[in-house]
Structure 1
Amino acid sequence: MAKYIVRYGSMRHLGVLSTRGNDRFRRGSQVIARTQRGLEAGEVLCDATEEAVSQLSDTSPGQILREMTEQDTNEQAHLLAHTPKTLAACREHIKRLGLDMQLVDVEHLFGGERIVVYYLAEHRVDFRELVRSLASEFQTRIEMRQIGVRDEAKLLADYGDCGKPVCCNTHLSAMPPVSMKMAKVQKATLDPTKISGRCGRLKCCLRYEYDTYEALLKQLPPVGSDVVTADGRARVLSQEILAEQLLVSTEDNRRMLINASDVLSVLKRGSGKGKPRSRGPERGRNENRDKPPQEETQGAAQEKPPQGDSREKPPRGEKRNGPPRGDKRGGAPRGDKQGGPANDDQRDGTESKAGPEAQDGPVVKDTSAPTEGLQENPGRPEGNGGPPLSPSPEKIEGPEKNNETESQGGPPESTDSKDQE
């Protein structure tokens, strides 16, 4: 009993089907076969040899009943004529039920015992009510099958960009996975509009020659490798995989295209990622390496902006030479609210506005020598025009009332002004 590989159905299923008795069929014969789905029309592809069956991943059993007659051909044409009417009825029921699905196609089996509905949906759809409505209208069994965008092209697409019928609708039995790496290895354009098929995904034909490219690529030195040729040492810049040629750059910066067989040895294998740097920048980088490191450090120090305080910190136990920070009890270095004016203009007796008290009352010029009370205040040392030293809390004398007056901001009244009153 002979066996044949037969293609049948709208999704172009493949099956290993046996024959009745000693029946023989030639390649391309249109037959009527019984499969797991029912009675269907199919096409004989070839004999089911061991080599042919080993290349098929998923096959279904069945039996070839007979070769199609003229009556069978008319019956199949009659079923195809009812397809638009069935599609319109399905769309009406889907719209009435408000189902989130996209109807793609319907398929009538040859025996009429089943109608297969193909649809697209992002999520799972509860179509039980739809099946009941369609079954009562067409009086047959309804099968709902969810498919992807590539299967949609397999059902509806006709011709590809190459001008030939799409591969998924002719000879492909399964959809092979295709990645962008395959396009990069074959140096195809990365424009999505040019490498995408009718389904909107990457073209299936990108995978056909990928294995050949991978085998040839392993025999070529990667990009960036240092090789030795008959003309001397060179570096690989790019590869012509199918032609098995290399674009190299010699030591005198000459670029030439050589055959892969002209490579005598590989000194250093490159990573193969991106284009290697040219010889020019490498020489400039070597010249910079000859400079002393001190000059580079000085240049970096000049370009680097100063950050923070660059003053040296005195060691512990040693007083600072600069002015001390302000002290509420002993007087602040700015404005010198306790011992009179701190700037040179106020020290010479000129008028200055120290606050609202100076604006309301008359300005009193103190030309006399400092009193004893002021001399006892160690906030300003005698004979020193610099900023006052911060007194220690132990040497501060006087009632608390004077301290409150000093902290509010007005300059204290001198002893001579009280005698004048």
Structure 2
Amino acid sequence: MVVLPVRFERSPRLHSMQSEEAHAVGTKVVVQGKRGPEVATVRGEPSAPRPTERYGAVLRAATTEDLERWEELHRAGEDLKWLLRARARERQLPVKLVAVEFTLDESLVTVSYSADERIELTGLIGEVRAHTRARVNFAAIGPREQAQMLGTLGACGRENCSSTHLQEFAPVSIRMARDQQLPLNPEKLSGPCGRLLCCLQFEHTQYVDLLKNLPRKNAKVCHDGSGACGKVTKLHPLSGTVDVFTEQGMLLGVPATELRRAPDEGSTRAAGERGHKSARPPGPDA
């Protein structure tokens, strides 16, 4: 037995499947997944199974009949999807039908949909049952899963990461944009799904490491070279420089290694008072 990484049509995620033989990369195979038999593509080299892991099974290499049947079911799913979209518009249902997928044995049909609120789908379930004897499963998906299944272009001009290579949806926060010194513009930070860009997480750890060597924004610093003091207004982690707005009204771009912390006004005043007291003349009892 070997374990093969396989990929289904509508997702880049790799699934580990146990197989009695090692199929070459790119081979179409029939696998027994959670929903039933489906066609997938081998996307990696075989490896040894782990005793603690549970795997699906590769049933066989897909035959010509399997592939023809799979294409036929794919067309049937597309036709049914457009029919359901028309029926949803007639019923004025606030729902988007994303995909309709059959298993290879046509025992189950999965209808993936997205909606902003809970809706009644009884009428649409009846429409599906009128066209197939398969069991019907309506699966609600989120905006990111929708972009993953449909595929779209990202802000970079390439196909979005979620439909090409992303294996899981890791949490993305606005803090990541702040750490990368990006403008907090929702239109520029959001992907086609309307959520924060997944790619914000790719380089976040590197930016966190770079920021450790830079002063905080709004910190008061002094430049060793010019002696000018001022406030940090902007950080440039990749170049290791910061912008300093000086007390003289100038904006300086200087390396962080040439900066030192400005003396605190309170401590400077206290030091001056201590010096003033020590300079008092001795009293009559001295």
TM-score bracket, normalised by the shorter chain, equals 0.7 to 0.9
Specify the SS of the correspondent of 2:253: strand
Q: Following superposition of structure 1 onto structure 2, how do residues 70-109 of structure 1 map, counting pairs within 5 Å?
A: 70-91=64-85, 93-94=87-88, 99-109=93-103
Q: Tell me, yes or no, if the aligned pair for 1:6 and 1:16 is still in contact at 8 Å.
A: yes
Deviation for aligned residue 1:41: 1.6
Say if 1:237 and 1:68 are closer, same or farther in 2 by CA, change over 3 A.
same
Given that residues 7 and 42 in structure 2 are in contact (C-alpha distance below 8 angstroms), is that contact kept between their aligned partners in structure 1? Answer: yes
Question: In structure 2, which of residues 144, 161, 164 is the aligned counterpart of residue 150 of structure 1?
Answer: 144
> Structure 1 pair 131/28, CA: closer, same or farther in 2 (3 Å)?
same
Partner of 1:112: 106
- Please give the residue correspondences for 1:302-313 in structure 2 after superposition, counting only pairs within 5 Å: none
Question: Which residue identity does 2:224 align to in structure 1?
Answer: T
How far residue 253 of structure 1 moved from its aligned partner, in angstroms, is 5.7
Q: What amino acid does structure 2 have at the position aligned with 1:207? A: Q
Matched, 1:45 2:35: no
How far apart, in 1, do the equivalents of 2:12 and 2:137 lie?
17
**2:152 and 2:160 in contact (8 A); partners too:** yes
Query: Which deviates more from structure 2 when the two are superposed, residues 119-128 or residues 212-221?
Result: 119-128
Q: Which amino acid aligns with 1:214?
A: V
Report the equivalent of 2:195. 201
1:143, CA displacement in angstroms?
0.9
Tell me how far apart the structure 1 counterparts of residues 105 and 54 of structure 2 sit (CA, whole Å). 18
Is contact 1:35–1:61 with CA below 8 Å preserved after alignment?
A: no
Instruction: State the partner residue of 1:225.
Output: 220
Counterpart pick for 1:178 among 172, 183, 194: 172
The answer to whether 1:212 aligns with 2:206 is yes
Identical-pair percentage: 28
SS at match of 1:220: coil
User: Comparing 2-11 with 146-155, which one deviates more in the overlay?
Assistant: 2-11
* Structure 1, gaps ≥5 residues long: 54-58, 270-421
Q: Provide the rounded CA distance (Å) in 1 between the counterparts of 2:183 and 2:47.
A: 40
- The correspondence of residues 284-323 of structure 1 with structure 2, limited to 5 A, is none
AA in 1 matched with 2:258: D
Q: Does 1:238 align with 2:234?
A: yes
* 2:34 corresponds to 1:36: yes
Structure 1 Cα separation of the partners of residues 246 and 36 of structure 2: 70
Give the counterpart letter for 2:135 in structure 1: R
Larger RCO, structures 1/2 (Cα 8 Å, 6+ apart) = 2
**Deviation digits for residues 398-419 of structure 1, max 9, x if unmatched?**
xxxxxxxxxxxxxxxxxxxxxx
CA distance in 2, matches of 1:185, 1:215: 10
Asked if the contact 2:229/2:246 (under 8 Å) is kept, the reply is yes
Q: Give the drift of 1:227.
A: 4.1
Please tell me whether the aligned partners of residues 10 and 107 of structure 1 are also in contact (alpha carbons under 8 angstroms): no
- 3-state SS, counterpart of residue 78 of structure 1: helix
String of CA shifts for 1:83-128, please: whole Å, max 9, x gaps: 3321233235545666553322211223322111011223333434
Cα distance, 1:44 vs structure 2: 2.7
If the length of structure 2 is used for normalisation, what is the TM-score? 0.76
Distance 2:240 2:139 in 1: 47
Contact 2:7-2:41 within 8 A present in 1 as well = yes
Q: Kindly state the Cα deviation for residue 12 of structure 1 after the two structures are TM-superposed.
A: 4.7
User: Residue 260 of structure 1 aligns with which residue?
Assistant: 256
In 1, the alpha carbon distance for the partners of 2:93 and 2:247 equals 69
1:125 aligns with 2:123: no
Which residue of structure 1 aligns with residue 280 of structure 2?
none
Indicate the structure with greater strand content.
2
2: CA distance between counterparts of 1:151 and 1:138? Answer: 26
In 2, the alpha carbon distance for the partners of 1:129 and 1:43 equals: 35
Rounded Cα–Cα distance in structure 1 between residues aligned with 2:247 and 2:86:
75
The whole-number CA distance in structure 1 between the counterparts of 2:247 and 2:115 is 61
- Give the match's secondary structure for 1:221: coil
The superposition leaves residues 227-275 of structure 1 with CA deviations (integer Å, 9 ceiling, x where unpaired) of 4524436333321111111223567665433322334x43569xxxxxx
1:232/1:65 CA distance change after superposition, 3 Å: same
Corresponding residue for 1:163?
157
Q: How far apart in 2 are the matches of 1:60 and 1:200?
A: 35
8 Å Cα contact 2:37/2:103 also seen in 1: yes
Summarize the Cα distance change of 1:92–1:139 in structure 2 as closer, same or farther, 3 Å threshold.
Answer: farther
RMSD across aligned positions (CA)? 3.1
Q: Alpha carbons of 1:98 and 1:190: their partners in 2 closer, same or farther (altered >3 Å)?
A: closer
- Number of residue-to-residue matches in the alignment: 259
State the alpha-carbon separation in 2 of the partners of residues 176 and 30 from structure 1.
29
Q: CA, structure 1 residues 152+258, in 2 after alignment: closer, same or farther (shift >3 Å)?
A: same
Partner-residue secondary structure (3-state), 1:24? coil
Question: For residues 11 and 145 of structure 1, do their structure 2 counterparts lie closer, same or farther at Cα, with a shift above 3 Å needed?
Answer: farther
Q: CA deviation at 1:171?
A: 0.9
Partner in structure 2 of residue 311 of structure 1: none
Q: What's the offset of the Cα at 1:203?
A: 2.0
